[in-house]
Amino acid sequence: DGGITQSPKYLFRKEGQNVTLSCEQNLNHDAMYWYRQDPGQGLRLIYYSQIVNDFQKGDIAEGYSVSREKKESFPLTVTSAQKNPTAFYLCASRTVPGDTQYFGPGTRLTVL
């Protein structure tokens, strides 16, 4: 089955800890994206990557970091500098050129 997987589904973090969210795709897509969703709000772009070893900041990149060492993987690290990290995190990918973004099932992060 082709698709996007995110792990873990639920993640709990203590204050001051860094955590890494996994995103893997086997769709052979070039571009990958990380979005954050807060209750009652739409998605906001954190980081995106259009090619391996290259990525750009989105609208709310502060307190987050990413890497793109392999085409199929785009992990997101939520650092202790992110003041309000509790949210639902969604990863997406698309072909380049291409129009439709395909989304993973999401990771819910809660800070204890």
Binding site for another protein (CB under 8 A): 4, 6, 31, 33, 35, 40-45, 48, 50, 56, 58, 88, 90, 92, 94, 96-106, 108
- With 0-12 CB in 10 A as exposed, 13-18 as middle and 19+ as buried, what is 60? middle
What's the CA gap between 17 and 39, in Å, rounded?
23
- Which of residues 53 and 56 has its CB atom nearest to another protein in the complex? 56
Q: What angle do CA 60, 42, 18 make, to 5 degrees?
A: 40
Least Å from the CB of residue 105 to another protein: 5
- DSSP letter assigned to residue 96: S
- Which of residues 81 and 98 has its CB atom nearest to another protein in the complex? 98
Residue type, 23: C
- Strand 76-78 to strand 19-25: parallel, antiparallel, or no bridges (unpaired)? antiparallel
Least Å from the CB of residue 20 to another protein: 19
Least Å from the CB of residue 88 to another protein: 8
- Which of residues 22 and 80 has its CB atom nearest to another protein in the complex? 22
